């Protein structure tokens, strides 16, 4: 069967079997509140980064069951005709609130709050989790890498180390985390991210000598290009690169180092470039970098970094470990009741929560506050009393998606928002070592 434009089958089977059972029992229409959050952060993460919200909203726009999907489900025989009829007419009509994309988050932070009937909330579970678990992990790794880079540009070069579709999403998430460009052309086209890239070792090996390869690249891309100088001997490669650019009438833009002791080589190459008068030629480094390798290069004369495998795999944390749980549901009496799991190590806090963040007298974030209250007005009043900045925004209202949250300018706003949010965190948030989360989370029940 060919791929579908619809996103409705990006789900797990048990969501439909739960729906089927709930329709049979008469509970499917009960109003519910689900929250998407993480119980804890990985030991190496002092904060998380919200990324993927825009992708969720774009996918939600296409979340409907097409006739051929209904027919396929009918052939499986896993749900009743009543459920198939419900799905054939399905459009999400509830509300979704969430942390704005680019915001930092902490344990318990309700990244998404989904309100609607049990039927419409439950079928979204896998779609929401699969997007946010991936994108938040990548954005969080990217943020740590850009912290380690101390303002030097980081570029995504990880497409060949990931699933071809995941690579596009990773490039988007990395951009939110502070990356400057991507080698992936589909990501560049789809999201307006700056495309980067010049040539690989194979291009040098194609030619009879390194100088011929450099001449050919400069003839095509100009002297501002970046030449890869470690195919053979680095020192000779640098000489060939500088001389090739000058023969073409300009100064070389940059050289790239992709192997060996990058710290030592960066110092050596910088000295060689300066001695040749190529003082404006920059140095970019690649070769399996992560935040720790980037930090180790902090004192070296490096101008930019290309990051691949460790970026698109979350630098050791490939998933954000987020969960999606019902926290409030309508009872037989028509009233809303908090509900919670009591399972050991997997317990949840019942009740719909409103989130805010307080700052100390120096203007740095001090605490994540989650307020459970009988109404939004009461929760907002409590956040105001605490001087906490509200964190949740409306993403979907009565089934209508906020187009600005995933439109053309949304990604740039998310990147800028992350920088502001990260800069608000206290110093310990920027450490790369294992440790406590940057700020504590406090639950308040009114």
Q: Which domain holds residue 414?
A: 13-138+317-348+392-439
Tell me, yes or no, whether 227 and 264 share the same domain: yes
In a domain, 118, yes or no: yes
Q: What is the pTM of this model?
A: 0.95
In a domain, 386, yes or no: no
345 Cβ contact partners less than 8 Å away, ≥ 6 residues apart: none
In a domain, 327, yes or no: yes
Tell me, yes or no, whether 82 and 43 share the same domain: yes
441 Cβ contact partners less than 8 Å away, ≥ 6 residues apart: 106, 107, 108, 109, 367, 368, 369, 370
Tell me, yes or no, whether 280 and 321 share the same domain: no
Tell me, yes or no, whether 327 and 228 share the same domain: no
At 243-277, the pLDDT tens digits run: 999 999 999 999 999 999 999 999 999 999 999 99
Question: Into how many domains does the chain fold?
Answer: 2
Q: What is the pLDDT along the chain (446 residues), one digit of tens a residue?
A: 344 589 999 999 999 999 999 999 999 999 999 999 999 999 899 999 999 999 999 999 999 999 999 999 999 999 999 999 999 999 999 999 999 999 999 999 999 999 999 999 999 999 999 999 999 999 999 999 999 999 999 999 999 999 999 999 999 999 999 999 999 999 999 999 999 999 999 999 999 999 999 999 999 999 999 999 999 999 999 999 999 999 999 999 999 999 999 999 999 999 999 999 999 999 999 999 999 999 999 999 999 999 999 999 999 999 999 999 999 999 999 999 999 989 877 888 999 999 999 999 999 999 999 999 999 999 999 999 999 999 999 999 999 999 999 887 999 999 999 999 999 999 999 999 998 999 999 999 99
In a domain, 377, yes or no: no
In a domain, 286, yes or no: yes
The CATH number for 246's domain is: 3.20.20.70
Tell me, yes or no, whether 17 and 133 share the same domain: yes
Tell me, yes or no, whether 134 and 211 share the same domain: no
Edge-first strand order for the sheet with 365-372 is 389-390, 353-359, 365-372, 441-445
The CATH number for 333's domain is: 3.20.140.10
In a domain, 429, yes or no: yes
Q: Which pLDDT value is given to residue 1?
A: 39
At 296-306, the pLDDT tens digits run: 999 999 999 99
107 Cβ contact partners less than 8 Å away, ≥ 6 residues apart: 37, 38, 39, 40, 41, 437, 441
391 closest CA partner among 347, 353, 362: 353
Q: Which of 299, 334, 358 is the last residue of a domain?
A: 299
């Amino acid at each position: 069967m060919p791929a579908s434009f619809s996103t409705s089958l990006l789900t797990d089977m048990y969501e439909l079997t739960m729906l089927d059972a709930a329709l049979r029992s008469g509970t499917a229409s009960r109003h519910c509140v689900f929250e998407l959050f993480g119980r804890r952060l990985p030991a190496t993460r002092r904060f998380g980064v919200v990324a993927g919200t825009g992708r969720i909203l774009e996918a939600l726009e296409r979340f409907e069951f097409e006739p051929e999907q209904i027919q396929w489900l009918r052939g499986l025989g896993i749900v009743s005709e009543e459920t198939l009829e419900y799905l054939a007419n399905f459009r999400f009509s509830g509300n979704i609130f969430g942390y704005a994309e680019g915001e930092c988050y902490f344990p318990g932070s309700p990244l998404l709050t989904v309100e609607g009937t049990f039927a419409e909330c439950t079928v979204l579970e896998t779609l929401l989790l699969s997007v946010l678990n991936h994108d938040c992990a990548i954005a969080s790794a990217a943020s740590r890498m850009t912290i380690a880079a101390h303002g030097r540009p980081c570029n995504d070069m990880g497409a060949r180390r990931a699933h071809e579709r995941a690579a596009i999403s990773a490039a988007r998430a990395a951009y939110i985390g502070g990356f400057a460009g991507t080698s992936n052309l589909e990501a560049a086209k789809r999201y307006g991210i700056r495309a980067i890239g010049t040539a690989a070792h194979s291009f040098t090996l194609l030619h009879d000598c390194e100088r011929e390869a450099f001449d050919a690249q400069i003839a095509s891309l100009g002297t501002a290009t970046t030449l890869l100088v470690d195919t053979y001997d680095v020192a000779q490669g640098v000489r060939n690169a500088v001389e090739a650019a000058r023969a073409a009438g300009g100064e070389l833009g940059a050289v790239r180092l992709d192997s060996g002791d990058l710290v030592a080589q960066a110092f050596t190459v910088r000295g060689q470039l300066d001695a040749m008068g190529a003082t404006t030629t920059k140095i970019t480094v690649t070769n399996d970098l992560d935040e720790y390798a980037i930090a180790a290069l902090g004192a070296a004369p490096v101008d930019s970094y290309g990051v691949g495998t460790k970026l698109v795999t979350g630098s050791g944390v490939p998933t954000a470990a987020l969960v999606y749980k019902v926290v409030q549901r309508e009872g037989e009496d028509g009233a809303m009741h908090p509900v919670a799991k009591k399972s050991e190590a997997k317990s949840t806090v019942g009740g719909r929560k409103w989130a805010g963040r307080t700052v100390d007298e120096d203007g740095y974030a001090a605490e994540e506050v989650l307020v459970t209250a009988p109404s939004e007005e009461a929760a907002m009043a409590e956040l105001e009393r605490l001087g906490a900045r509200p964190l949740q925004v409306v993403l979907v209202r009565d089934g209508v998606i906020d187009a600005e949250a995933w439109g053309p300018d949304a990604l740039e706003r998310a990147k800028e928002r992350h920088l502001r949010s990260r800069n608000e965190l206290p110093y310990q948030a920027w450490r790369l070592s294992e440790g406590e989360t940057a700020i504590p989370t406090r639950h308040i029940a009114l």
